Structure 1
């Protein structure tokens, strides 16, 4: 009781203080305004950062992640990451002690779709406010959460950044002009590779074909614009689509 009381006196509502609690699974909820940036940092615990509403853009483990409402990002303990809030973001987080039974399922960084059962479990644990001593309901919620997190399907919106400097040059050029309509031969030439080498090397380093990578980049950009209330017809044109409907069809296909 003493440790918990001490943390409460010092303002245990901060995410850092919550991680000092004796709970195997601790919860934290907060609302952020558009533009807030949680700059590069890491945690001693595994984290699930879940967007109840709004959009988060995160970078971690060499990958850019779009985390729209209904999705979450698992960030393993000790992993440096940065999160930017796009629009007003309602966030719920779980901090899981690495020694907790079942926590090994959280040892790799990945974006997940938060299905209704998992969303309800997170909301229920957050609503309890990290009581101590731990009541049976909180304990069992935490255990069920770990099971459901381990089974959560991956979100398709990760954008891995290739380690090869030649491929990064192509990715940087595409990020600067995401609506560019150049051919595959053009991008291979920019990388200083043959078309065959480029189309083989790109998926080896990212797990995606060049076309898939470009679609995910455009989807991330469109999600950011949509979260900020931009007109989607104009966004579609800037991203090289004939219409808003064409852009949205691509986004549905990915989502």
Structure 2
């Protein structure tokens, strides 16, 4: 009966078992409770982790990622990553054979926006539950998914962590006190750098201005708190905003 039938007989397959299937694009859907942690691991296949509902907080490739509902994280084969669930998360994952036609665009770790067409294609493939032999519809869904993934816009919520230890000192301090009202000169002094050198080096290391990095950090914190039912008024106060409306304006600007 084959490997797929063996997995079905044992009940609901694990994500590891799904990756052993002969499919070029294998699917896996599951719900997770708030606080669940998928500890550091990697996969032999490329992965798209798509949040249908809830919020995932991920670490991969030296970057922190907030992956809210309607977004997905592309994790290349062999890349270590960790995912934490904030609020109840409904997840749909695709595991893509690196040798599959069109899989080369999965080689870059990035968060993407899953627009309605792509969301519908993923849902349809997951509903088919990895049939084998592969029927024409599943084959065509897989090919369309890869085409749409290649065109998916990047999410604006990546938070790259700098390699420079001086900048790491600043980022760690800000992560510990995200609402700190300090000026740019204060942060430059903490790094032991001039203001000009600090801003230039920060941009080089992260691809973001210091203010842009801080906004993304605060947005990630606010999204996580909101997913767990916190009142945004309290979150805004913690993050140094005068009002809930001010915090929401920043989040809308990013998201």
* TM range, smaller chain: over 0.9
Contact 1:11 1:17 survives alignment (8 Å): no
- SS for the counterpart of 1:99 is coil
Distance in 2 between residues matched to 1:141 and 1:248, nearest whole Å: 37
Instruction: Say if 1:99 and 1:12 are closer, same or farther in 2 by CA, change over 3 A.
Output: farther
Query: 1:124: Cα distance to partner?
Result: 0.2
- SS for the counterpart of 2:182 is coil
Residue 17 of structure 1 corresponds to: 17
Contact 1:74 1:112 survives alignment (8 Å): yes
Query: 1:7: Cα distance to partner?
Result: 2.6
1:65 aligns with 2:62: no
1:205 aligns with 2:205: yes
Distance in 2 between residues matched to 1:4 and 1:47, nearest whole Å: 19
Query: Deviations along 1:106-133, whole A, 9 cap, x unmatched?
Result: 1010000000000000000000000000
Residue 184 of structure 1 corresponds to: 184
1:53 aligns with 2:78: no
Query: Deviations along 1:6-48, whole A, 9 cap, x unmatched?
Result: 2333445210000000000000000000000000000000000
Distance in 1 between residues matched to 2:82 and 2:4, nearest whole Å: 28
Residue 222 of structure 1 corresponds to: 222
- SS for the counterpart of 1:29 is strand
Contact 1:12 1:18 survives alignment (8 Å): no
Computed over aligned residues only, the root mean square deviation of the Cα atoms, in angstroms, reads 0.8
Residue 5 of structure 2 corresponds to: 5
Query: Deviations along 1:77-108, whole A, 9 cap, x unmatched?
Result: 00000000000000000000000000000101
- SS for the counterpart of 2:112 is strand
Residue 165 of structure 2 corresponds to: 165
- SS for the counterpart of 1:43 is coil
Instruction: Say if 1:40 and 1:11 are closer, same or farther in 2 by CA, change over 3 A.
Output: farther
Distance in 2 between residues matched to 1:16 and 1:201, nearest whole Å: 41
Which 5+ residue runs of structure 1 have no aligned equivalent?
A: none
TM-score (norm 1): 0.99
Residue 100 of structure 1 corresponds to: 100
Residues paired across the two proteins, number = 255
Query: Deviations along 1:52-97, whole A, 9 cap, x unmatched?
Result: 0000000000000000000000000000000000000000000000
